[in-house]
Structure 1
Amino acid sequence: MHTFGRLLAFLRPYKRGVVWSLVLAALAMVCTVAIPWLTGRAVDQISDGDKAGLRTLALAVVGVAVVRLGLSVMRRLVAGQVSLAIEYDLRTLLYAHLQKLELGFFAGQQTGQLMSRATVDLSSVRFFLGYGLVFILQSSLTILLGAAAMFWIDPVLAALALIPVPFVVLVAMQYGRRSRPALQEVQQRIGEVTAEVEENISGVRVVKAFAAEPRQLTRFRGKVGRVFDQAMIATRLQAFFNPFLAFLPNLGLAVILLVGGRQVINGTLTLGDFTAFYTYLLMLIGPMRMFGVALNLAQRATASGARLLEILDREPRILSGGAPLPAGRGRVELRDVTFGYGDGPDALRHVDLVVEPGSTVALVGATGSGKTTLVQLLPRLYDTRSGAVLIDGADVRSVDVVDLRREIAIVDDDPFLFSDTVAGNIAYARPDASREEIVRAAERAQASGFIDELPDGYDTRVGERGLTLSGGQRQRIAIARAFLADPRILILDDATSSVDATTEREIKAALREVMEGRTTFVIAHRLSTIALADDIVVLEKGRIIARGSHEELLTESALYAEIATKGLPDQVFLNRDPIEKVAGL
């Protein structure tokens, strides 16, 4: 009930629409109840042979039906508008909330599950709030008005005919209690299927490369089978309860035929009243069945709503707001920083590091040593467990997150491009950038050459995730995007890993230009990239074990000497003439 009450709160901005929908539904139900009464009077006119009265009542039935038609159309339009407005609000609210959540939240979530909640679950909630709630109230109102009319005609017969109604309510409540957990599990497993589909489509290149389609199909069938098994539990409940809810009102029909029929034979009830009474009970069968269906919608909406509210109730752990980042040239300081992901072990341990403005620092170490983790703390993608990260003297936890991240640009080894034009992707950091500025950034990133050869140049759409471009092309566009941002601090996380040696040399020439006077962190495994740095920091198992120049570290750090020794032959080989390579020299 708590979840249901919170879902009803989404109707608050549309109270007027909801009230109008209910008023129109009530008026339509009055017309619905009036038709059986008019029909009963017409039957009496037939018995009396009154053709004029019969004609008048027939026209009245048509008139009331037309009015009901108009009211029903208006009610559906109003309810539809409310339903779509709620859907708009929910989608916007959910998306805005997801944007506020920190990066660590998404690391523990399946994309497909989030997509399922934003589509399937959200649609269930909005349909119930827009239509299902009105169905329940409309059905309840129809039952009340129909019962009132029946009691007005014959109280005793009405009491006998309506004996099944309390049982309908009890059965409906039992159905709701048992179906809600089953439906909630169905929604969860639909989310698992959505996650599986999203993962397969995103990784289709790997699937194709390893000819793993049969294996993936087997996995998918397993997920779909879980949905089928759980849906069958819900279907069995529905298969029993819905027909049972439809069966109970028929007992009232049997009472009317038996008791009411005898009254007509005995002359204590007119044929017209009997017809009206019978029609009223037939009219109530539909709402009684609809009451069960609407209750099923309510249970599904509650199950879906619980999944939506689980996301909306997750408070952001990195909040925006605070003071602007103070003026400066990008001085970075880490004071006794310890950090770990979630409840996992420490990825960084008691790190102390000072980087002066305008200098370039290379972070070197084995995979998992904490290089990428360290630079992710600068734009506050994560918060430290202890210690502090300062930029230009300000603790990043006291600085407005948006202002902080505008001053830091990151180019990593797997650049993400949006399904947009090349120009749109370059200008993502600065949407107000002119075409001249975009072209200049592309030139500095050595990207203008291949961009000019694309079908529509800078207006070419790159496709989802930029998969229509090569890895090196995507990387150069990402570098151009970083150039255009003109950040105070630049982070290059293996940013030249996807380009050949010739392109790498061209990009490095551009990197030297953009790095001039800008604080830069370089994460690289190639010695030629490390050579861009003024200073080299060596990490091992989350700790800084050495710092200095290339020559100093060769003698002072065994780990660095090992990295340099392994990397140097490859680098020398890459820089040699192709003829020498063929000759094996």
Structure 2
Amino acid sequence: MSEPSSTTPSRAAWKPLLALLRRQWLGLALGVGVGLLWTLGKIAVPQLVRLAIDRSIEGAESAWGWAALIALAGLVTGTFTAARRYVAFSQSRLVERRLRERLLDHILCLHIGYHDRAQTGQLMSRASSDLNQIQAFVVMIPLTVSNLFLVVVVTIVLFSMNAYLALFALVPLPFLLVNARTFSTRIHPAVRAVQQEQAQLATVVEETVAGVRVVKGFGAEPVQAKKLEAEADDIRNVSLDAARIRAMHLPINELLPSIGLIAVLGIGGYQVINGEMQLGELVAFNIYVQMLVWPLRTIGMTVAWAQRATAALERVDEVMSVTPEIVDPDDPRPRPTEGAVRFDDVRFGYDADEPVLDGFDLDIEPGTSVAIVGSTGSGKSTVARLLIRFYDPQHGSIALDGTDLRDLTVADVRRSVGLVFEDTLLFHDSVGANIAFAHPEATPEQVRRAAELAGAADFIDDLPDGYDTIIGERGFSLSGGQRQRIAIARSIVSDPAVLILDDATSAVDPTKEHQIRDAMSTVMDGRTTIVIAHRAGTIAMADRVVLVADGRVVADGAHDELLAREPHYRAVLAAAELADAELADADGVTEGAG
């Protein structure tokens, strides 16, 4: 996933966040309103302290009444402090949730070609840590507004009490603003670099965990450890760069407000001694100045959070700005139900200049089955990916029941066409939930019926908890044949008009292949089926066979016919048998070594 060369904040990246903030204006306004009430409570306390000192300590009034009022003001302030933070956090979490939902929806809408190139760790980082950075900034919005309001009100009060002393107290303010501006400019590229390196680290971790069997199988733990160490060192280096920038600027934010406080104590104390100022007024003035210290110090923090949020928003915008290539038409046609398939002069390549299919033509009558056979790289699986509309052809058309796929909604295409992948992926969930994965509203009877059609019901009943058995991540607790039968059941829950079995027996031991073939024959009965296979036993199940070479159909007929008259067909089957034999020998050696 490429990174933009610019290190300056992007205004366009803020548009989605601003749109969400406008949508939540009422909640944010509530947070600001609570913050303003908090400010009024804070402002009242020094005035009550001033009156208590001047009228009870230096005067004749009782201090108990003033103490009670001060305690009441403190209670009100504390209550609004809690309310302010609660509203701020609730609104920020709502923004985070909506952004996360929008990002995930967009990622799922992006074409498969994008996912072929994108790193999973990079997408995970954007959907997790980057959105956390945005949430941390949003929570600061109502807090910062109330802090700024506090600064404005306290400044007005200070000038009304003693303009001369107020000037000395606020001398550091312009320097704080200059420091904040410089800090903002310098910290942005550093923060962006940190977040990019964190995403790279997430990629290494994700690949290591997802491929743990390969890592262990090759004894490659040290290799992955070195990759992790390299990425961790990169994070450390860029984090230290960001820390050096903070170390140069944030102490200034700590120091400057204290200078104003020192000036107030010195000059104000002198005025009290000379009788130009009452003691209570000096104490109140000093409390007000102390109130400014924290809001002024948080300027740097707010700027830092804003820069992190900007970097995160830019990274999220890199994904959100990608335009999906596979989209619904403006006026979609009804969902096909018969299952007639037609490829008409289709040309397609993952790289447009290197076509995988070129002049590909194929007609399949409803309810019939076709086996697509060809050597490795001939485009067999590409036919399946085009029919389920993972991609659109660069030339020609693909139709279901006479309707071009591009005139159907993507959802209707994928409800009409079921696909059993060569690489079966099951989720860490129950067997029943995996079968009903795309149709969670399916009844237990529908799930069981699909399992029976797929030949999976018997072994599922033998599992510890039947259909409620948790099968573990990726389904590795089951055998290859069991996983494949669950995958077949999953594909037929929606009763698709067309079923594609993409090398559904390739990952199964040849001695166990008959179990999958039995399930396939039941499912194929009366249903338009495309079987992509290389084993003769599976191919022979189809009504007809098409041989694919050089991106087009070069032979078409029954299995026995092609076997008799097509040398290339015999060569493809022979190569497949040899590969299976070598695989079986390798498995035997492995088992013997075990």
Instruction: Please give the alpha-carbon distance, in whole angstroms, between the structure 2 residues aligned to 1:517 and 1:273.
Output: 94
**Aligned equivalent of 2:4:** none
8 Å contact 1:501–1:574 — kept in the other structure?
A: no
Which has the larger displacement, 132-141 or 498-507?
A: 498-507
**Aligned equivalent of 1:578:** none
Q: 1:385 and 2:394 equivalent? A: yes
Q: 1:15 aligns with which of 20, 25, 33?
A: 25
8 Å contact 2:335–2:413 — kept in the other structure?
A: no
**Aligned equivalent of 1:35:** 45
Q: Deviations over 1:524-580 (max 9, x none)?
A: 1111111122322222343333333344444654432322333457889999xxxxx
8 Å contact 1:326–1:392 — kept in the other structure?
A: no
Counterpart of 2:373 in 1: which secondary structure?
Answer: strand
Structure 2: where are the runs of 5+ without partners? 1-10, 585-594
Which has the larger displacement, 541-550 or 300-309?
A: 541-550
Q: TM-score, normalized by length of structure 1?
A: 0.92
**Aligned equivalent of 2:377:** 368
**Aligned equivalent of 1:249:** 257
Residues 168, 505 of structure 1: alpha-carbon distance in 2 compared, 3 angstrom cutoff:
same
8 Å contact 2:191–2:242 — kept in the other structure?
A: yes
Q: 1:25 aligns with which of 32, 35, 41?
A: 35
Kindly state the Cα deviation for residue 295 of structure 1 after the two structures are TM-superposed.
1.7
Letter of the aligned partner of 1:457 in structure 2? G
Residues 271, 459 of structure 1: alpha-carbon distance in 2 compared, 3 angstrom cutoff:
same
Kindly state the Cα deviation for residue 115 of structure 1 after the two structures are TM-superposed.
1.6
**Aligned equivalent of 1:405:** 414
**Aligned equivalent of 2:164:** 156
Which has the larger displacement, 76-85 or 564-573?
A: 564-573
Residues 429, 142 of structure 1: alpha-carbon distance in 2 compared, 3 angstrom cutoff:
closer
Instruction: Please give the alpha-carbon distance, in whole angstroms, between the structure 2 residues aligned to 1:343 and 1:259.
Output: 78
Pairwise mapping of residues 143-542 of structure 1 onto structure 2 (< 5 A)?
143-321=151-329, 322-325=331-334, 327=336, 329-341=338-350, 345-542=354-551
Instruction: Please give the alpha-carbon distance, in whole angstroms, between the structure 1 residues aligned to 2:109 and 2:354.
Output: 26
Letter of the aligned partner of 2:362 in structure 1? L
Kindly state the Cα deviation for residue 220 of structure 1 after the two structures are TM-superposed.
0.8
Give the alignment's Cα RMSD to 1 decimal.
2.5
Kindly state the Cα deviation for residue 342 of structure 1 after the two structures are TM-superposed.
5.5
Q: 2:105 aligns with which of 96, 102, 110?
A: 96
Kindly state the Cα deviation for residue 474 of structure 1 after the two structures are TM-superposed.
0.4
Instruction: Please give the alpha-carbon distance, in whole angstroms, between the structure 2 residues aligned to 1:484 and 1:20.
Output: 48
Instruction: Please give the alpha-carbon distance, in whole angstroms, between the structure 2 residues aligned to 1:295 and 1:334.
Output: 57
Instruction: Please give the alpha-carbon distance, in whole angstroms, between the structure 2 residues aligned to 1:436 and 1:257.
Output: 81
Letter of the aligned partner of 1:414 in structure 2? D
Instruction: Please give the alpha-carbon distance, in whole angstroms, between the structure 1 residues aligned to 2:515 and 2:317.
Output: 51
**Aligned equivalent of 1:580:** none
Kindly state the Cα deviation for residue 118 of structure 1 after the two structures are TM-superposed.
1.4
**Aligned equivalent of 1:107:** 116
Kindly state the Cα deviation for residue 398 of structure 1 after the two structures are TM-superposed.
0.7
Letter of the aligned partner of 1:252 in structure 2? G
Counterpart of 2:363 in 1: which secondary structure?
Answer: strand
Counterpart of 2:359 in 1: which secondary structure?
Answer: strand
Instruction: Please give the alpha-carbon distance, in whole angstroms, between the structure 1 residues aligned to 2:16 and 2:455.
Output: 54
Letter of the aligned partner of 1:455 in structure 2? P
Structure 1: where are the runs of 5+ without partners? 576-585
Letter of the aligned partner of 1:451 in structure 2? I
Residues 444, 574 of structure 1: alpha-carbon distance in 2 compared, 3 angstrom cutoff:
farther
Kindly state the Cα deviation for residue 91 of structure 1 after the two structures are TM-superposed.
2.3
Kindly state the Cα deviation for residue 243 of structure 1 after the two structures are TM-superposed.
0.8
Counterpart of 2:470 in 1: which secondary structure?
Answer: coil
Kindly state the Cα deviation for residue 414 of structure 1 after the two structures are TM-superposed.
1.1
Q: TM-score, normalized by length of structure 2?
A: 0.90
8 Å contact 2:88–2:140 — kept in the other structure?
A: no
Pairwise mapping of residues 556-571 of structure 1 onto structure 2 (< 5 A)?
557-567=566-576
8 Å contact 1:336–1:386 — kept in the other structure?
A: yes
Q: Deviations over 1:312-365 (max 9, x none)?
A: 232322113543446553222112211122667322222222222233222222
8 Å contact 1:42–1:57 — kept in the other structure?
A: yes
Kindly state the Cα deviation for residue 420 of structure 1 after the two structures are TM-superposed.
1.9
Letter of the aligned partner of 2:130 in structure 1? D
Q: Deviations over 1:45-94 (max 9, x none)?
A: 4662x353433332222121111111112222222322222222222222
Letter of the aligned partner of 2:39 in structure 1? M
8 Å contact 1:326–1:394 — kept in the other structure?
A: no
8 Å contact 1:263–1:269 — kept in the other structure?
A: yes
Kindly state the Cα deviation for residue 246 of structure 1 after the two structures are TM-superposed.
1.2
**Aligned equivalent of 2:590:** none
Residues 89, 427 of structure 1: alpha-carbon distance in 2 compared, 3 angstrom cutoff:
same
Kindly state the Cα deviation for residue 269 of structure 1 after the two structures are TM-superposed.
2.2
Letter of the aligned partner of 1:465 in structure 2? R
**Aligned equivalent of 2:86:** 77
Counterpart of 1:498 in 2: which secondary structure?
Answer: coil
